[in-house]
């Protein structure tokens, strides 16, 4: 049978999983870096092949028990987000709990159209978050396989924080002590007194009326999942570093993708192309004794910035890959330091309680394409073993709305150096990429997952 998104999902049971131990109710303020995020939800899912060692009912029991144990430490995921008197979101840690759904889908794992997650995943195998901060859905497939899908409020956690949570949840399910205890010390991200406003921040972020933040999925933006072979990634890196300056795989891949998007823009008579890269600031907070850096390694929340660059499309098309990679590095390096994140915290403080948004999020325009690349290289897909084996596939699913594209490369569960790349772009952009680079961006198929 061919891959398909044409199947039905039947919900068997809905319940709320609360922390195993009683928690003292308290308010947890969002940090200034949390307040940079608009109210958008992010989904992630993991696919497991049939396990003869454990029934689905036994799996669900393990998941619920270990989830109740895990949210004792990750109590933010068991709370609810409310507006305070200033109109800003604030987390009430009241052990409201996590919505947990058990479901059945009349499709086999090998027939899931993972290449087209809008049809096979969205609204079917990842839950809609209706209340609280986190929702979980566990779905039994016709073949005995299982899909675990989660949706969380991005204002509470970034991908780094969520990755910590998934690893801890899997550890608890295997009766293994948690390797990381999350830190919620918001004082680590307090604004400075006196503050120092960096004009560079005004180039990256802006205040915006809450009523103007659009999160409706535009009809012409689609999600696709591809895989890229390791040899192509090494080739990108070699070409991007050919001027003698070594570049990371992420910089090299991003440069290659920027050139592709510029080619698309040139064919459509566009003049400018813009690309942002999400930077995690945890390793930027350090002091001489490195105490803060150790604490930040377990910090739960958002510690992100989105620097971006723009260039004329003809330059991006005509210049060699190493030149484009240098330009990528040039705009990223402005955010790779402690002062940038301290300045970002001060900038939010100066504009509170006005909502803010990254400018690149609003930059899809008639001038040319704009998109953001998020580094998912820490995605711990091979560590999410709840006791019945590691997943054969896992991915984020983030159709974030607006006109700005979103791309997230992640390590493949095949453990061979390949990448899985989630892309949320205009339909025409995806068609162009598949036409000119089909040998590199290969649709995610059951053959790749099951027989590689």
pLDDT tens, residue by residue, 12-63: 999 999 999 988 999 999 999 999 998 999 999 999 998 787 999 999 999 9
pTM to 2 decimals?
A: 0.94
Can you tell me whether residue 35 is helix, strand or coil? helix
Is the pLDDT score of 417 beyond 90? yes
Determine, yes or no, domain membership for 301.
yes
The domain of 28 spans 9-188
Determine, yes or no, domain membership for 437.
yes
Is the pLDDT score of 211 beyond 50? no
Q: Are residues 166 and 218 in the same domain?
A: no
Q: Are residues 388 and 425 in the same domain?
A: yes
Q: Are residues 314 and 416 in the same domain?
A: yes
Q: What residues have CB less than 8 Å from 184, skipping those under 6 apart?
A: 28, 76, 299, 300, 301
Is the pLDDT score of 286 beyond 70? no
Q: Are residues 179 and 207 in the same domain?
A: no
Q: Are residues 247 and 330 in the same domain?
A: yes
Rounded CA separation 135/311 (Å): 40
For the segment 389-398, the average pLDDT, to the nearest whole number, is 96
| Structure confidence at residue 289 (pLDDT) | 58
Determine, yes or no, domain membership for 4.
no
**Could you tell me the pLDDT band of residue 364, with boundaries at 50, 70 and 90?**
low
Q: Which of 188, 215, 244 is the last residue of a domain?
A: 188
Determine, yes or no, domain membership for 99.
yes
| Structure confidence at residue 217 (pLDDT) | 46
Determine, yes or no, domain membership for 64.
yes
Determine, yes or no, domain membership for 106.
yes
- CATH assignment of the domain containing 169: 3.30.559.10
**Could you tell me the pLDDT band of residue 402, with boundaries at 50, 70 and 90?**
confident
| Structure confidence at residue 136 (pLDDT) | 98
Determine, yes or no, domain membership for 294.
yes
Determine, yes or no, domain membership for 3.
no
Give pLDDT tens digits for 310-345: 999 999 999 999 999 999 999 999 999 999 999 999
Does 211 or 94 have the greater pLDDT score? 94
| Structure confidence at residue 219 (pLDDT) | 53
For the segment 62-81, the average pLDDT, to the nearest whole number, is 98
Query: Which DSSP string do the residues of 241-281 spell out, in sequence order?
Result: TTTS----HHHHHHHHHHHHHHHHHHHTT--EEEEEEEEE-
């Amino acid at each position: 049978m061919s891959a398909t998104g044409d199947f039905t999902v039947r919900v068997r049971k809905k319940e709320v999983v609360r922390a195993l131990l009683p928690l003292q109710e308290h308010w947890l303020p969002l940090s200034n870096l949390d307040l940079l995020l608009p109210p958008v939800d992010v989904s992630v899912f993991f696919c497991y092949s049939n396990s003869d060692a454990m029934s689905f009912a036994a799996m669900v029991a393990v998941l619920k028990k270990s989830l109740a144990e895990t949210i004792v430490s990750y109590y933010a995921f068991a709370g609810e987000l409310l507006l305070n008197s200033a109109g800003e979101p604030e987390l009430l840690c009241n052990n409201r709990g996590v919505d947990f759904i058990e479901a059945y889908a009349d499709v086999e794992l090998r027939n899931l159209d993972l290449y087209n997650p809008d049809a096979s995943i969205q609204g079917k195998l990842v839950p809609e978050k209706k209340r609280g901060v986190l929702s979980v859905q566990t779905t039994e497939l016709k073949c005995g396989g299982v899909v675990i899908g989660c949706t969380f409020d991005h204002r509470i956690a970034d991908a780094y924080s969520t990755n910590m949570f998934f690893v801890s949840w899997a550890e608890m399910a295997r009766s293994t002590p948690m390797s990381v205890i999350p830190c919620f010390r918001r004082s680590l991200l307090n604004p400075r007194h006196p503050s120092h406003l960096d004009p560079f921040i005004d180039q990256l972020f802006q205040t915006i009326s809450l009523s103007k933040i659009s999160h409706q999925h535009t009809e012409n933006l689609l999600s696709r999942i591809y895989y890229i072979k390791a040899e192509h990634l090494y080739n990108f890196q070699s070409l991007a570093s050919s001027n003698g300056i070594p570049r990371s795989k992420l910089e090299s891949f991003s440069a290659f993708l920027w050139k592709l998007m510029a080619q698309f823009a040139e064919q459509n008579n566009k003049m400018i192309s813009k690309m942002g890269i999400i930077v995690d600031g945890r390793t930027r907070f350090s002091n001489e004794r490195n105490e803060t850096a150790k604490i930040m390694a377990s910090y739960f929340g958002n510690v992100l910035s989105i620097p971006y660059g723009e260039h004329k499309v003809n330059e991006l098309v005509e210049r060699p890959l190493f030149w484009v990679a240098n330009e990528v590095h040039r705009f990223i390096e402005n955010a790779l330091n402690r002062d940038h994140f301290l300045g970002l915290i001060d900038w939010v403080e100066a504009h509170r309680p006005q909502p803010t948004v990254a400018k690149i999020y609003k930059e899809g325009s008639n001038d040319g394409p704009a998109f953001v690349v998020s580094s998912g290289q820490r995605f711990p897909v091979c560590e999410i073993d709840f006791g019945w084996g590691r997943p054969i596939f896992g991915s984020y699913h983030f159709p974030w709305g607006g006109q700005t594209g979103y791309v997230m490369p992640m390590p493949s569960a095949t453990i061979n150096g390949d990448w899985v790349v989630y892309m949320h772009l205009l339909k025409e952009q995806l068609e162009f990429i598949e036409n000119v680079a089909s040998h590199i961006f290969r649709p995610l198929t059951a053959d790749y997952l099951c027989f590689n």
